[in-house]
């Protein structure tokens, strides 16, 4: 504590002495006391105050920390076109604004009702403080504050709200110190950005936007007077709660401004008569396309931590176009009604679309209705992919150099000895065709050949390929792995297939394009940096095989009039139904099922029920995209059998 600050604080306490003496003398006469006793009382107050200042205030917080203080701020999420999707914050919904960006009417209204001598005092208003002390002595407790804006700021940021003399004295000393360190304008700016304005709005910018959908620079006199009136009791004077009480408080502010000579009588009347065109209070955490914004927040939390996301004032641009996402959601809702009409008892559908050129997520539908269930099936639900897992097995086989599309495989009954006894894979049709080849085995989704190929190339190698493609879910090298017995998410499937669509170039799928702080400093720039992870001949050969699946195999319902590669998936018990497919510009996974894992209906298959949903979405998604073709395997060299 500097000697200058202590000296000024001492002068303040001394300045209260005449008021204390006048009050005490009157009290003493009425009760038969003596002037000597009054003088002793006054001297004790002054002496005790000075002693308290000297001893206690050495440990007060250093107000200079406000020079680098940044209060918690709301983070904002925008779609790829810059449209606001979500506000994310903890308890305090706040966005900072400079004093120059606040309307003069608001600044005058706040000063008029809160501290009209703000620009004339040194942190404490001596006359107001003397009056308050007199009232408090009469009541025997602290009932009147007489706080200046500087003192209010100190109390809000540094001190407790206990109504005791020791806290009030600390407030005085720190307010004086604050005025020595910072300019008046800076103090007012910090104050307006920190105080509570009601309905979870902290700081003038979020409050102005909440009440009037305006930037604070655009507030007129009528609106400014209402806002200033909120400070004393925000919820009590809120126009969302009691408009009549709001107008009464607004009139008090306008009258005070007129008494100070800051506005005319005609301005006062006009401002009071003007209707307050307030909107509706924003929700605690406002979100559009909530399944997407929820997934974005989870990704942000992983990268930056929950505290920084809720309090750091991040500005986040994501990969999704709001209109595109809403189209995907509408497609899913209509498709669900169609499934119900067909007698399919599926409670949920998930859809994820990924751009193979960037691995940016373009659409993410986590369920039918976020208001009823916040569980995001696109990112959180791990379900068996069934035969849609087989392309990972066949890519591994092709990349090993041991297999080609025309390599023959025997489709016949087979039995493997395992720990629990025997494992006997069965085809979906319960029939076998004898000698076949890789192309036909994949085209018609035969199970026995897939198990044989997986065992031949090594199940651990298949898992390694899945890891390269971004599948992080638990995978075990069991004989049933090639048939999709392990659980994965729709996002993992869409991201992995996107790497097939890009002919082997991979990036980790993301929903985030760019993140900056509230000052515009770039914290994350997700410029795609794809790496070539797959063998070019093997992936081109796989793409050729998967096109045949759609042309004349199990996925014919996914035809959209351009080259399409894809794979159906149906679990044996009909609990999970999939179609995952792609064109060079977009890879999309569709899953159908029930949260309780109950079967969705006898005869339900990925080709019959998931592929049409995929088709409907892709036709709309590719409206403005030209037809593109997959590279031919003949453009690349086939790997030698000794290579992976």
Terminal CA-CA length for the chain? 72
In a domain, 67, yes or no: no
State the pLDDT confidence band at 51, using cuts at 50, 70 and 90: very low
How far does CA 13 lie from the centroid of its chain? 50
Catalytic residue, chosen from 387, 445, 502, 541, is: 387
Can you point out the beta strands (E) in 539-638?
Answer: 565-570, 576-583, 586-593
Encode pLDDT of 138-170 as tens digits: 555 443 446 898 888 888 777 655 544 455 677
Asked if the model's pLDDT at residue 322 lies above 70, the reply is yes
**114 counts as catalytic:** yes
In a domain, 404, yes or no: yes
Phi, psi of 464 (to 5 degrees): -60, -40
Long-range contacts of 302-306 (CB under 8 A, 24+ apart): 303/512, 303/515, 303/524, 304/515, 304/523
In a domain, 379, yes or no: yes
State the pLDDT confidence band at 11, using cuts at 50, 70 and 90: low
Q: Which residues contact 428 (CB under 8 A, 6 or more apart)?
A: 387, 445, 447, 570, 572
Encode pLDDT of 224-247 as tens digits: 999 999 999 988 899 988 889 999
Asked if the model's pLDDT at residue 197 lies above 70, the reply is yes
- What confidence score (pLDDT) does residue 26 get? 38
> What DSSP element (H or E) covers 189?
helix 184-194
Selected residue with higher pLDDT from 78 and 14:
78
Asked if the model's pLDDT at residue 34 lies above 50, the reply is no
Selected residue with higher pLDDT from 638 and 198:
638
**Cα angle for residues 534, 538, 543 (degrees, 5° grid):** 100
- What confidence score (pLDDT) does residue 38 get? 38
- What confidence score (pLDDT) does residue 175 get? 82
Q: Tokens 């002068």 correspond to what residue?
A: 11
- What confidence score (pLDDT) does residue 171 get? 74
Encode pLDDT of 352-371 as tens digits: 999 999 999 999 999 999 98
- CA 584, CA 503: separation in Å to the nearest integer? 9
- Residues 362 and 324 sit within 8 Å (Cβ to Cβ): yes
Q: Which residues contact 209 (CB under 8 A, 6 or more apart)?
A: 215
In a domain, 101, yes or no: no
Instruction: Average the pLDDT over 182-210 and give the result.
Output: 87
Among residues 338, 302, 299, the alpha carbon closest in space to that of 320 is found at 299
How distant, in Å, are the alpha carbons of 86, 96, 101, 239, 303 from that of 72? Answer: 17, 9, 19, 26, 18
Determine which of 51-65, 86-100, 121-135, 525-539 has the lowest per-residue pLDDT on average. 51-65
- What confidence score (pLDDT) does residue 626 get? 97
Global confidence as pTM = 0.73
- What confidence score (pLDDT) does residue 156 get? 75
Asked if the model's pLDDT at residue 199 lies above 70, the reply is yes
- What confidence score (pLDDT) does residue 65 get? 60
Selected residue with higher pLDDT from 419 and 263:
263
Q: How many CA atoms lie within 13 A of 565 on its CB side?
A: 28
Instruction: Average the pLDDT over 102-111 and give the result.
Output: 95
Asked if the model's pLDDT at residue 54 lies above 70, the reply is no
- CA 195, CA 188: separation in Å to the nearest integer? 11
Q: Output the 3-class SS for 254-312.
A: HHHHHHCCCCCHHHHHHHHHCCCCCCCCCCCCCECCHHHHHHHHHHHHHHHCHHHHHHE
Range 289-301 burial, b when 16+ CB lie within 10 A, else e: bbbbbbbbbebbe
Q: What is the CATH number of the domain that holds 380?
A: 3.40.710.10
In a domain, 197, yes or no: no
How far does CA 124 lie from the centroid of its chain? 42
- What confidence score (pLDDT) does residue 278 get? 75
State the pLDDT confidence band at 68, using cuts at 50, 70 and 90: low
Q: What is the mean pLDDT of the chain?
A: 85
3-state helix, strand, coil in the chain (%, to 5): 50, 15, 40
Instruction: Average the pLDDT over 377-398 and give the result.
Output: 97
- β-pairing verdict for 522-525 and 512-516: antiparallel
Instruction: Average the pLDDT over 80-90 and give the result.
Output: 87
Encode pLDDT of 275-295 as tens digits: 888 766 654 455 789 999 999
Q: Output the 3-class SS for 490-536.
A: HHHHHHHHHHHHCCCEECCCECEEEEECCCCCEEEECCCCCEECCCH
- What confidence score (pLDDT) does residue 150 get? 87
How far does CA 328 lie from the centroid of its chain? 21
Highest mean pLDDT among 125-139, 172-186, 320-334: 320-334
**552 counts as catalytic:** no
- What confidence score (pLDDT) does residue 37 get? 39
Measured in residues, the chain has a length of 644
Catalytic residue, chosen from 105, 114, 171, 268, is: 114
Q: Which residues contact 411 (CB under 8 A, 6 or more apart)?
A: 427, 432, 433, 434, 435, 436, 441, 446, 448, 449
- What confidence score (pLDDT) does residue 59 get? 59
- Please state the domain count of the chain: 1
- What confidence score (pLDDT) does residue 455 get? 96
- CA 301, CA 312: separation in Å to the nearest integer? 12
- CA 497, CA 356: separation in Å to the nearest integer? 8
- What confidence score (pLDDT) does residue 91 get? 60
In a domain, 88, yes or no: no
Encode pLDDT of 165-184 as tens digits: 455 677 777 788 888 888 99
In a domain, 530, yes or no: yes
Instruction: Average the pLDDT over 89-93 and give the result.
Output: 67
State the pLDDT confidence band at 461, using cuts at 50, 70 and 90: very high
Domain range for 470 is: 328-635
Tokens of 439: 């192309």
- What confidence score (pLDDT) does residue 283 get? 47
How far does CA 564 lie from the centroid of its chain? 35
- What confidence score (pLDDT) does residue 256 get? 95
- What confidence score (pLDDT) does residue 70 get? 59
The answer to whether the Cα torsion of 227, 230, 235, 239 is positive or negative is negative
- CA 314, CA 308: separation in Å to the nearest integer? 8
In a domain, 47, yes or no: no
Instruction: Average the pLDDT over 326-346 and give the result.
Output: 95
């Amino acid at each position: 504590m500097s000697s200058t600050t202590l000296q000024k604080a001492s002068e303040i306490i001394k300045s209260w002495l005449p008021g204390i003496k006048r009050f005490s003398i009157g009290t003493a006469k009425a009760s038969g006391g003596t002037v000597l006793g009054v003088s002793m009382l006054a001297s004790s107050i002054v002496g005790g105050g000075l002693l308290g200042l000297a001893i206690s205030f050495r440990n007060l917080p250093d107000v200079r920390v406000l020079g680098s203080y940044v209060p918690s701020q709301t983070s904002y999420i925008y779609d790829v076109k810059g449209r606001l999707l979500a506000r994310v914050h903890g308890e305090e919904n706040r966005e900072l604004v400079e004093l120059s960006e606040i309307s003069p009417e608001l600044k005058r209204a706040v000063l008029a009702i809160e501290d009209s001598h703000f620009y004339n005092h040194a942190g404490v208003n001596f006359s107001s403080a003397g009056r308050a002390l007199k009232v408090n002595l009469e009541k025997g407790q602290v009932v009147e504050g007489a706080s200046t804006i500087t003192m209010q700021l100190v109390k809000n940021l540094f001190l407790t709200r206990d109504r005791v003399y020791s806290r009030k004295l600390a407030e005085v000393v720190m307010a004086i110190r604050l005025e020595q360190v910072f300019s008046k304008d800076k103090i007012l700016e910090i104050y307006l950005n920190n105080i509570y304005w009601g309905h979870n709005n902290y700081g003038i910018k979020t409050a102005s936007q909440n009440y009037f959908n305006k930037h604070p620079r655009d507030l007129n006199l009528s609106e400014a007077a209402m806002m200033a009136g909120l400070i004393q009791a925000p919820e009590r004077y809120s126009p969302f709660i009691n408009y009549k009480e709001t107008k009464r408080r607004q009139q008090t502010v306008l009258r005070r401004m007129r008494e100070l000579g800051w506005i005319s009588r005609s301005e006062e009347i006009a401002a009071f008569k003007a209707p307050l065109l307030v909107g509706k209070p924003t929700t605690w955490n406002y979100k559009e396309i909530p399944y997407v914004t929820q997934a974005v927040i989870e990704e942000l939390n992983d990268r930056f931590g929950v505290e920084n996301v809720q309090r750091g004032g991040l500005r986040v641009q994501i990969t999704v176009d709001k209109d595109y996402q809403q189209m995907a959601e509408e497609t899913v809702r209509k498709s669900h009604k169609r499934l119900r009409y067909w007698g399919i008892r599926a409670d949920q559908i998930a859809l994820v679309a990924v751009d193979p050129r960037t691995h940016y997520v373009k659409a993410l539908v986590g369920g039918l209705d976020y208001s009823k269930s916040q569980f995001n099936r696109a990112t959180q639900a791990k379900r068996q992919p069934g035969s849609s897992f087989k392309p990972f097995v066949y890519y591994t086989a092709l990349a090993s150099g041991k297999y080609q599309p025309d390599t023959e495989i025997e489709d016949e009954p087979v039995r493997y000895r395992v720990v629990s006894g025997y494992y006997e894979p069965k085809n979906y049709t319960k029939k076998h065709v004898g000698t076949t080849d890789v192309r036909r085995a994949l085209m018609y989704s035969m199970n026995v050949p897939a198990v044989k190929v997986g065992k031949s190339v090594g199940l651990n190698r298949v898992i390694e390929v899945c890891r390269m493609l971004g599948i992080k879910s638990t995978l075990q090298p069991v004989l049933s792995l090639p048939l999709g017995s392990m659980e994965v998410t729709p996002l993992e499937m869409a991201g992995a297939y996107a790497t097939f669509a890009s002919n082997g170039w991979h990036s980790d799928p993301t929903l985030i394009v760019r993140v900056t702080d509230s000052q515009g400093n770039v914290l994350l720039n997700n410029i795609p940096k794809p790496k070539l992870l797959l063998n070019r001949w093997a992936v081109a050969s796989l793409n050729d095989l998967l096109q045949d699946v759609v042309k004349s195999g199990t996925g014919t319902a996914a035809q959209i009039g351009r080259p399409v590669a894809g794979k159906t998936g149906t679990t044996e018990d009909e609990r999970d139904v999939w179609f995952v497919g792609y064109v060079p510009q977009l890879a999309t996974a569709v899953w159908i099922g029930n949260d309780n894992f109950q079967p969705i209906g006898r005869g339900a298959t990925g080709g019959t029920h998931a592929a049409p949903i995929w088709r409907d979405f892709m036709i709309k998604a590719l409206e403005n995209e030209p037809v593109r073709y997959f590279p031919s395997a003949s453009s690349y060299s086939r790997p030698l059998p000794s290579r992976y």
